[in-house]
Amino acid sequence: MDKDKTLVSIIVPVYNAELYLEECINSILEQTYKNLEIILIDDGSTDNSFEIMKQYSENDSRVQSLSISNSGPGKCRNVGLDIFSGDFVMFVDSDDRICRDLVEILLEHLESSSEIAMCKFSKEIQKIAKGTKKVENQTSIFVDSIKSIYLPGFPSSGPVAKLYGKKIFSELRFPDISMYEDAAISLQVLSIADKVSFVDYYGYYYRFNSDSITNKRVSERNLFIFEKTKIMLEFTNKNHPEALDIVKTICLNDNDYVMMECTRSNTEIARTLFERLLEQNRDLSKNLGMRKLVYTNRLLLKIALKIMSKIYYNDFVRNIFKKVLGVNNG
């Protein structure tokens, strides 16, 4: 494969992102690797996001701007996946930014369009652009790939900070759910890939934006976590039963995070969701040894999660929890 002629497509879902959108797009346009196709998809924004997007389209032929009715980031990414023409594809969130050499670095570690390369990400700006830029781990085994994406620093099930070969998404699309659509297909992505490379480089700045959909207070959208868990478990049971306990642990961790968010919100939906997730976690953890003890005392669990919610968004703290509750302990 001639890397200089390889086209890389970058898909950016945009929703009310005018505050950070220019910074995001500029970080893509300024890449050291220039052969790019940039697809910006406005998700029914009510601010000036689409006007900003159109200006970039007019000034750089590599940029396309589209607009759809508000449908969520999964639908936006699917629209991009239906039209992109690159050999590789990357997703960037509209309030984040990437290091100027990220595409070049990840592309160096890809040999075919059925592989994935990913870097580390951080919410702490001082970490960005640090790392050896060498492959920290590489695997073609499904279970090992799952364990590796949950190593500290890597973006777990999220679609960002990864460069995907086009074959990964030749048929696969994000499900039609308003949240957790990325986690829902994360296992399919790893299963399709011939090889996954993990690069020691903090090349992606994930901005913690309290106004984003993901970080808003608990709402009915969070109920889609049950559909996400169903998709993950059904796929694993059918295709990779050897990974079932690992995937159950992942689902437990996802549920714990949402339960933690529920402790920050004194609403009926938050209380109802907490109880439903607790019930599901008791079921999921039945055959997972000591983990089931976490869910025996509802009050103590709620207190612990409430304390955790005040410190979790620090990278160091979050990575400690990844180690303690992570899938690499089994």
What is the C-alpha radius of gyration for the chain, rounded to an integer number of angstroms? Answer: 19
Buried b (16+ CB within 10 A) or exposed e, 283-322: ebbeeeeebbebbeeeeebbeebeebbeeeeebeebeebb
Q: Rounded to two decimals, what is the model's pTM?
A: 0.90
pLDDT category at 152 given cuts 50, 70, 90 is confident
For residue range 97-126, list pLDDT tens digits in order: 999 999 999 999 999 999 999 999 998 899
Query: Cα torsion for 225, 327, 75, 116, to the nearest 10°?
Result: -170
Identify the helix (H) or strand (E) that includes residue 9.
strand 8-14
Predicted confidence (pLDDT) at residue 312 exceeds the cutoff of 80:
no
Q: Which fold has domain 8-205?
A: Spore Coat Polysaccharide Biosynthesis Protein SpsA; Chain A (3.90.550)
Lowest-confidence segment of 1-10, 128-137, 161-170, 252-261 by average pLDDT: 1-10
Comparing 311 with 56, which gets the higher pLDDT? 56
Q: What is the pLDDT of residue 31?
A: 98
Q: Where are the domains of the chain?
A: 8-205, 220-324
Q: How many CB atoms lie within 10 A of CB 242?
A: 10
3-state SS of the chain: helix, strand, coil percent to 5?
50, 15, 35
CA 14, 224, 150, 306 torsion-angle sign: positive
Predicted confidence (pLDDT) at residue 245 exceeds the cutoff of 90:
yes
β-pairing verdict for 36-43 and 63-68: parallel
Identify the helix (H) or strand (E) that includes residue 197.
strand 195-205
Check if the beta carbon of residue 177 is closer than 8 Å to that of residue 224.
Answer: yes
**3 state DSSP class of 40:** strand
Q: Where do we find the tokens 């890597």? A: 154
**3 state DSSP class of 81:** helix
For residue range 21-72, list pLDDT tens digits in order: 999 999 999 999 999 999 999 999 999 999 999 999 999 999 999 999 999 9
Predicted confidence (pLDDT) at residue 19 exceeds the cutoff of 80:
yes
For residue range 269-309, list pLDDT tens digits in order: 999 999 999 999 999 999 999 999 999 999 999 999 988 88
For residue range 162-220, list pLDDT tens digits in order: 999 999 999 999 999 989 999 999 999 999 999 999 999 999 999 865 444 444 579 99
What is the DSSP secondary structure assignment for residue 120, as one 8-state letter?
Answer: E
